[in-house]
Amino acid sequence: MHPSEFEEFLSTNERRIFNYLLSLLGNEADAQDVFQLVFIAFYEHIHRIERATAVNYVYRIAYNKSMTFLKQKSRFVDADPKSFEYIPDTSKPPEEPDYTALNEAIRSLPPRLAAVIQLQYYEKLSYKEIAEELGTTLKAVESLLVRAKKHLRKKLMQETGGRGV
């Protein structure tokens, strides 16, 4: 195709291509944006396009440009700026939580229960390693952990006045 034929081709096919884009994108403003991209791409390669396949070629460009546009559009969040008011400020470091009550509650546990909490959560040992360390079975370790957590929950609930742990 010759560049001099572009205007005629555009005026003949612009409505069909625009309607096709509108059906793909579902938004008239988006369809207009992509429509411009389609015919710019078509014009840039017009010297390689044969007259017989020009319509198919422009439809293929329209489809590809639409899919690229939709993919890029999905990367952006369309949100009301007021919804960002409740996002925590990350510019300052978070305050270190106060573990005093938890540490006191652990110290008040019976020694075997305190040991199992220490090994599980502070030393990051597996149940098998805890069983070997305490000279007991896996089932006993599971039972000890359940009991220890129950005691801790109860103590912490009492200290916080039932507001939660």
Give yes or no for a contact between 22 and 50, defined as CB atoms under 8 angstroms apart: no
- Model confidence band, residue 84 (pLDDT cutoffs 50, 70, 90): low
Cβ-contact 137, 130 below 8 angstroms = no
More confident residue, 146 or 49: 146
Q: What is the mean pLDDT of residues 90-116?
A: 82
Average pLDDT, the chain: 85
For the chain, the structural domain boundaries read 3-73, 100-159
> Taking the domain 3-73, which CATH number applies?
1.10.1740.10
| Mean pLDDT of the 39-68 span | 90
Position with higher pLDDT, 87 vs 141? 141
Task: Please state which CATH class domain 100-159 belongs to.
Answer: mainly alpha
Confidence (pLDDT) at 159? 78
